[in-house]
Amino acid sequence: EVQLVESGGGSVQAGGSLRLSCSAPAYNYWRYCMGWFRQAPGKEREGVAIVDTDDITTYKDSVKGRFTASKDREKKILYLHMNSLKPEDSAMYYCAAVGRRGARGQCVDAPVGFGVWGRGTQVTISS
């Protein structure tokens, strides 16, 4: 059963931009941490942008200044705007919801901390 649906992936040259969208229709999802993860072949899944309920976002260091996550609560869509894309950004990108908080109250950034996942959208960046 698909609970989150990603779209917007594709192929683009280095330096280009893409906007990913995640449809998150359940009201409950918006009461918890949400985020974007990615996984390249042979690599572990990693957190890219994690957004809390106050819309404060924590980014992976390598995407800071290039990627921006945002929410449209009216449409119940989570976005990831990606600029200045690099070949190393190539991966399957996943939307995740129902993320838990750690001991200090922060959103976790590990995949095991999120309970709901989409099927992913492929992003391929050529040099």
pLDDT value at 1 more than 90: no
Q: Please tell me the predicted confidence (pLDDT) of residue 80.
A: 98
Rounded CA-CA distance 42/51 in Å is 26
Rounded CA-CA distance 48/92 in Å is 12
Q: Please tell me the predicted confidence (pLDDT) of residue 42.
A: 97
Instruction: Give 6-39 pLDDT, tens digit per residue.
Output: 999 999 999 999 999 999 999 999 999 999 999 9
Burial pattern 75-88, b for ≥16 Cβ within 10 A else e, equals eebbbbebeebeee
Q: Which CA distances in Å does 125 have to 25, 31, 46, 53, 69? A: 29, 33, 18, 31, 19
Q: How much is the average pLDDT of 59-72? A: 98
